[in-house]
Structure 1
Amino acid sequence: MARTASNMLPLGTIAPDFKLFDTVSGCLLSLEDLKGKKATVIMFICNHCPFVIHVNPELVAIAKTYAEKGVSFIAISSNDVVNYPQDSPEKMKTHAKTEGYTFPYLYDETQEIAKAYDAACTPDIYVFDAHLELVYRGQIDDSRPDNGLPVTGKDLKHALDCVLENKENMQMQKPSIGCNIKWK
């Protein structure tokens, strides 16, 4: 498995706007349509990456728990579907239903949004506060498909709890590790 780390977009960055096709609903959705009342989590993921597959159940569980607290979750796939047809919009829709995604799964066909967020890998996670200011970026937790550590979501949950409690996140933010985004 190739291991690519997050680029770690600077904290305080305002979330780049977008309008992308939601493979589940078939609608064009914007950041403004989807942002959360208290926080917004943007996740660059894809269907086939073993790092994403490894954390999918925890991502779904965290999204369900925190949605009730005013946190919105948005998944985006930016992979080149010509060379990676398993990440096509049709297969994204099927994958979202199979995995039980309760959040939109958007297709970034031009890859402009991944570039705007300086996304590098899947999963690449960003947490923005109510003003869409970046307060966390990086890993979900220390678990990887081959390291034997359980998937807990502790880093992401801690970041979300800090936002919800209006506390500064003093923990070191570690980059995510995963498959590189499949650039055209």
Structure 2
Amino acid sequence: MASLSPPLCNTGWKAPDFDLPGTDGRRHSLASAAGPQGLLVMFICNHCPYVQAVIYRIIRDVNALKPLGVGAVAIMSNDTTDYPEDSWENMVRLARDLDFPFPYLLDSDQSVAHAYGAVCTPDFFGFNGDLALQYRGRLDASRKETAPAGARRDLFEAMRQVALTGQGPAVQLPSIGCSIKWAGK
């Protein structure tokens, strides 16, 4: 399982819209997910060891960003035929068991992942209140193993800055993770 890193932030790029089913039984769009000060769009999945290493930190950081006016949504775009651990039923179970504080959405035709240029799980896109990209970087120094407890919270600090100023940090370290599992590949 090779790891990939996404390209660095294309600052100012506008968030593509989406309309996807969530594990909560509702449909979610860009407008319904965005907070007044920004939006964090996360491409994750159930089976990836990089996601598993940080999922509790993702939950922690999303909860900490909510009072700052930053909305969040997680999108699962993997091919579920070849990766049954990422099936709808398993998505519902994971979101329920971990009490996700964000909608967990299924991108079954992978069109949203393509529109965003997502390449790995996890892949984080941090937008300001105008839905212009300000952050595309890592959560923290975690890899397949969780980083030490005192590790710098790169994503949280960047999105806090976005919420307060509308702009992301000049220096951003790319995320790393498993490749998106594209259908037919």
Aligned equivalents of 1:153, 1:89: Cα separation in 2: 33
In structure 2, what residue type is equivalent to 1:13? Answer: W
Distance in structure 2 (CA, Å) of the matches to 1:46 and 1:153: 23
State how far apart, in whole Å, the 2-side matches of 1:153 and 1:90 are: 34
Task: Report whether the alignment pairs 1:16 with 2:51.
Answer: no
- Segments ≥4 residues shifted beyond 2 Å: 167-171
Tell me the equivalent position of 2:159: 160
Structure 1: 5+ residue stretches without partners: none
SS in 1 for 2:165: coil
- One-letter amino acid matched to 2:148: P
Structure 1 counterpart of 2:69: 70
Shift of residue 170, structure 1, vs aligned partner: 3.8
Contact 1:40 1:132 in 2 (8 A): yes
Which runs of no fewer than 5 residues in structure 2 stay unpaired? Answer: none
Kept in 2: contact 1:44–1:125 (CA 8 A):
yes
Separation in structure 1 between the aligned mates of residue 85 and residue 35 of structure 2, nearest angstrom:
30
- Distance in 2, Cα, partners of 1:170 & 1:81: 35
Residue 167 to residue 79, structure 1, CA distance change in 2 (3 Å):
closer
Give the TM-score normalised by the residue count of structure 2: 0.92
Identical aligned residues as a percent: 41
1:139 aligns to 2:134 (yes or no): no
**Count of paired positions:** 182
Two-structure CA RMSD over aligned residues (Å): 1.6
State the match for 2:118 in structure 1: 119
1:45, 1:8 → 2: CA distance?
A: 18
Following superposition of structure 1 onto structure 2, how do residues 43-58 of structure 1 map, counting pairs within 5 Å? 43-58=42-57
Q: For residue 62 of structure 2, what is the amino acid of its counterpart?
A: A
1:149 pairs with one of 141, 147, 150:
147
Shift of 1:7: 2.9
